Amino acid sequence: MTKTYDLGAEKVRALRDVTFDIARGELVAVMGASGSGKSTLANLLGALDTPTSGRLEIDGREISGMSSDALARLRSEEIGFVFQQFNLLPRMTALENVMLPLLYSSRGRAGGAEIARERLEQVGLGHRLDHKPTQLSGGQQQRVAIARALINDPPIVIADEPTGALDTRTSYEVMDLLGGLHARGLTVVLITHEPDIAAYAERVLRFRDGALVEDLRQRPRCAVDSGVAQ
């Protein structure tokens, strides 16, 4: 895939001819300096954007030529997205934030509040359902965001610098959660520039100036190594 942003006078080649596969159930870290194309890649893998040229298949489906409706459906059913800045709605409670994607889901599930409550319990926030984002710590806000990403049971989670706004200890808590999703069989793509965080992955894709420069398999750090999983 290649992704070029067209700014009129200038074209930014954010991704240059990158080729790779991610297998179902992998936990892959995407590393690289600021500006190397990581978020651009996250947006493509999350079907938030389409490549300028080349092909992208998600679960065997070619997404490059999909209509925006079809892309929205694919995102809603297959992909949970986690952002560095949490992206929670400030006026809504934790429970309401987690329920939000159900509004756009083609399934429009009944019993949404019950499912949202379960998801919040899964991330250890069963006692914070009615708190607004400002009443939660950064780590708790990110856990709400992870619960929201999981509301439709997606097989794929894409996290773009999920620990970038968190302190070290809280970062490990969030990584233990993401590692737990991987252990349950989800495919997790973790964008990070922190080696400590990439250590959780079994594979690291490294980008430089929009090019894929390294594809490394490694022995992942075990979730309990951080000492906060218990």
Which residue ranges make up the site for Mg ion (CB under 5 A)? 38-39
User: Which of ligand ADP, Mg ion, none has residue 36 at its interface (CB below 5 to 8 Å by kind)?
Assistant: ligand ADP
Q: Measured from the CB atom, is 41 or 116 closer to ligand ADP? A: 41
The CB-of-109 to Mg ion minimum distance in angstroms stands at 32
192, 198 contact by CB (below 8 A)? yes
CB of 106 vs ligand ADP, minimal distance in Å: 28
Handedness of CA 172, 38, 60, 68 (dihedral sign): positive
Query: Which of Mg ion, ligand ADP, none is residue 7 near (CB under 5 to 8 Å by kind)?
Result: ligand ADP
Q: Identify which of residues 132 and 193 has a Cβ nearer to Mg ion in the complex.
A: 193
* Residues contributing to the site for ligand ADP (CB under 6 A): 5, 7, 12, 14, 32, 34-40
Under DSSP, is residue 18 helix (H, G, I), strand (E, B) or coil?
coil
46 binds, among Mg ion, ligand ADP, none (CB under 5 to 8 A by kind): none
Residue 174: strand, helix, or coil: helix
Q: Quote the CA–CA distance of 203 and 29 in Å, as a whole number.
A: 6
Q: How many CA atoms lie within 13 A of 200 on its CB side?
A: 30
Nearest approach in angstroms of CB 121 to ligand ADP is 32
Instruction: State which residue, 85 or 137, has the beta carbon closest to ligand ADP.
Output: 85
Q: Which of 43, 107, 39 is nearest to 73 (CA)?
A: 107
The least distance separating ligand ADP from the CB of residue 91, rounded to whole angstroms, comes to 27
Strand 187-191, strand 27-32: pairing:
parallel
What is the smallest separation between the CB atom of 130 and Mg ion, expressed in angstroms?
Answer: 32
**Nearest residue (CB) to ligand ADP, 32 versus 101:** 32
**Binder of residue 35, out of Mg ion, ligand ADP, none (CB less than 5 to 8 A by kind):** ligand ADP
**If residue 197 lies in a helix (H) or strand (E), which one and from where to where?**
helix 195-198
Token pair 């949202």 is found at 116
Nearer to Mg ion, 160 or 176 (CB): 160
Name the residue among 103, 139, 143 with its Cα closest to residue 126: 143
